[in-house]
A and B are shown apart, each in its own frame.
Chain A
Amino acid sequence: MEWIKADTLTAVTLHVNGRRYRAAIEPRMLLSDFLRQECGLTGTHVGCEHGVCGACTVLVNGEAVRSCLMLAVSMTDTEITTIEGLARHPDFPAVYQAFTENHALQCGFCTPGIVVSAMAEVVGRKKKEEEIVDVLSGHLCRCTGYHGIMSALREIT
Chain B
Amino acid sequence: MKPSAFDYIRVDTLDEALSVLADSDLEAKVLAGGQSLLPMLNMRLAQPKALVDINRLAALATLGRLEMNLAGVATQSPDTAFLEVGALVRQRQLERYALEEERTRLIHTALTYVGHPQTRNQGTVGGSLAHADPSAELPLLFLTLGGTAIIQSTRGERQVAAEEFFQSYFTTAIEPGEMLTKTLWRLPVPDEGMAFKEYRRRHGDFALLAAACTMKIGSDRKVQHVRLGLGGLADTPLLVDEVRESVGEHWAKERARAVAEAVVNRLDFADDYQASSSYRRQLASVLIATVLDAAYEDALAKEGKHGVDQG
Mark A residues whose CB is within 8 Å of B.
1-7, 26-28, 30, 33, 49-51, 54, 57, 60, 63-66, 68-71, 73-74, 77, 117, 121, 133-135, 137-138
For residue A133, which residues in chain B have a CB less than 8 angstroms away from its CB? 203
Contact with A along B1-29 (1 / 0, CB 8 A): 11111111111100010000000000000
Q: Mark B37-59, 1 if CB is under 8 A from A, else 0.
A: 01101110000011101011000
B12, closest chain A residue (CB): A1
Interface secondary structure of A, over-half rule = mixed
B16 touches A1 (CB 8 A): yes
Contact residues in B for A57 (Cβ distance below 8 Å): 118
Known: A50-B39, A50-B43. 14 other contacts (CB 8 A): A1-B16, A4-B7, A4-B9, A27-B8, A28-B2, A28-B5, A28-B41, A50-B1, A66-B119, A69-B34, A70-B122, A71-B8, A135-B116, A138-B119
Cβ contacts A to B, 25 pairs, < 8 Å: A1-B9, A2-B8, A2-B10, A3-B10, A4-B7, A7-B5, A28-B2, A28-B41, A50-B1, A50-B43, A54-B116, A60-B122, A63-B92, A64-B117, A65-B122, A66-B118, A66-B119, A69-B35, A69-B122, A71-B34, A71-B53, A74-B10, A74-B55, A135-B118, A137-B204
Which residue of A is nearest B53, CB measured?
Answer: A74
Q: Which of A5, A50, A66, A71 is B7 in contact with, Cβ under 8 Å?
A: A5
A27, B49: Cα distance in complex, Å = 12
In the assembled complex, the Cα of A64 lies from the Cα of B116 at a distance in Å of 11
Q: For the complex, what is the distance from the CA of A73 to the CA of B7, rounded to whole Å?
A: 11
Q: Are B117 and A121 in contact (CB under 8 A)?
A: yes
Given A1-B16, A117-B118, A121-B117, verify A69-B5 contact (CB < 8 Å): no
Give the nearest-CB partner of B119 in chain A. Answer: A51
Nearest CB in chain A to that of B1: its residue: A49
Indicate if the CB atoms of B38 and A69 lie closer than 8 Å.
yes
The minimal Cβ–Cβ distance linking A148 to chain B, given in whole angstroms, is 18
Partner of A134 from B5, B6, B16, B116 at Cβ < 8 Å: B116
How many Å lie between the Cα of A69 and that of B51 in the bound state? 14
In angstroms, Cα B204 to Cα A115, docked, is: 19
Q: Are A65 and B121 in contact (CB under 8 A)?
A: yes
Contact partners of A66 in chain B: CB under 8 A: 35, 118-119, 122
How near does chain A come to B37, taking the closest CB pair, in angstroms?
A: 8
Do A70 and B38 form a contact, CB below 8 Å, given A28-B3, A30-B2, A65-B122?
Answer: yes
Please give me the 7 A-B residue pairs with the lowest Cβ-Cβ distance, nearest first: A138-B116, A27-B8, A6-B5, A69-B38, A50-B39, A2-B10, A137-B203
Known: A6-B49, A134-B112, A134-B117. A26 touches B5 (CB 8 A): yes
Q: How far is the CB of A15 from chain B (nearest CB, A)?
A: 16
Q: A25 to nearest B CB, angstroms?
A: 11
Q: How far is the CA of A28 from the CA of B50 in the complex (A)?
A: 10
- Which residue on chain B has the smallest CB distance to residue A10? B8
Neighbouring A residues of B11 by C-beta, 8 Å = 1
